[in-house]
A and B are shown apart, each in its own frame.
Chain A
Amino acid sequence: MSLAVLLGTLGAGVGLAAGLAFSVRLSGVLSSPLAATLVNFLVGGVLMAALWTLGLDGARPTQPPPGWMLTGGLLGAAYVTLSLVGAARLGVGVSTVAVTLGQLLGALVIPALGWLGQTRQLPSASGLISAALLAAAVALLASERQKVAARPAAGLPDGQTG
């Protein structure tokens, strides 16, 4: 495994899990998960734009990218909003399992069809087995959390009914 892959994995995993903890806290303060996500996106965007302006990585782009490549952030915003709706309706445990299932399905389907510039790649046996193991791990955590969360924890997104 190369250093970039290792750092990427650490950054993505820590960023996602710790970022969520920050979001939950801020959304409790603001009484609005949407506003908390907006603040996070704004802060992250300003930081990245600042680092790019300082010339941290990469050359200046020579030509504008095709329009569809600019939609990544909208997908991220839709992901956050739909997950919040799911968590409010289903409870955090069940919705986490469903969201992870969707992640694993998307990761199998998109490369299988060769969409979005991905190298075409049919799901392998090892890919399916690892997806099943991950889904089992998340389901186990969710069912354990469901049992613990008999009393409502502080700072959950509002609209939380579970």
Chain B
Amino acid sequence: MPVRSPPAVLPLLLAILAGSLLPVQFAVNGALAGQLHSVTLTAAVSYAAGTAGLALLLLLSRSRPDWAAARHAPRWVWLGGVVGSAYVVGSVLLTRALGAALATTLVIAAQVVTAILLDHLGVLGLERRPVNRARATALVLVLAALGVRLWGAA
């Protein structure tokens, strides 16, 4: 099949690859939690490896972060990791309880619902985007997906 716009294909494949890494991470961290018998230690180890990888990447890239500007930003912008750790802990608990497949469905659904809610409220420096017909339809689709999945798993 001829490809219309070759330049867009590689980034598209990279984005799909990026997404496929998340269930792999769920499975790997789930296995680690089974070995360590501790969700917090699992999350700490996962974050440590990720921090090392990102630090290396940052050194190799030409990116020059403006650390001085960050001092004048509101304090809360530094606390994303506190919120993010709820995601790591949550995904480990879910994968242990349900396996990577069902855990991924639940996380995507919860993520979409939360994102729509945060946009609707316009909190955390996000632009306020009230729920409209498209967003309401998306919510219904997500709830239908959950219903089908849970009914199938029961």
Contact = CB atoms under 8 A, between A and B. Distances in A.
Contacts of B61: 34
Interface in A30-83: 30-32, 34-49, 51-52, 56-59, 61, 65-66, 68-83
A145 to B, nearest CB: 9
B1 interface: no
Interface in B98-154: 98-101, 103-116, 118, 123-127, 129, 132, 134-135, 137-139, 141-142, 144-146, 148-153
Contacts of B49: 70-74, 77
B99 A9 contact: no
Question: Which residue, of A32, A39, A46, has the highest number of chain B Cβ atoms within 10 A?
Answer: A39
Interface string A1-30: 110110111111111111111110110011
Contact of B125 (A21, A40, A48, A148): A21
Contacts of B43: 44-45, 48
Given A61-B38, A72-B32, A136-B141, A15 B20 contact: no
Contacts of A40: 80-81, 84
Contacts of B39: 57-58
Given A22-B124, A65-B35, A86 B18 contact: yes
Could you tell me the dominant secondary structure of chain A's interface residues? helix
A133 B145 contact: yes
A130 B150 CA distance: 9
Contacts of A119: 99
A76 B47 CA distance: 9
A76 B64 contact: no
A15 to B, nearest CB: 3
A150 interface: no
A45 B51 contact: yes
B73 interface: yes
A32 B68 CA distance: 13
B69 interface: yes
Interface in B35-50: 35-50
B77 interface: yes
Given A21-B126, A121-B101, A127-B149, A75 B24 contact: yes
Given A21-B126, A32-B65, A41-B84, 11 more contacts: A8-B92, A16-B87, A18-B83, A34-B57, A81-B54, A103-B108, A106-B23, A107-B100, A110-B23, A111-B99, A117-B27
Interface of A: 1-2, 4-5, 7-23, 25-26, 29-32, 34-49, 51-52, 56-59, 61, 65-66, 68-83, 85-87, 89-90, 94-95, 98-111, 115-119, 121, 123-127, 129-131, 133-134, 136-138, 140-141, 143-144, 148, 153-155
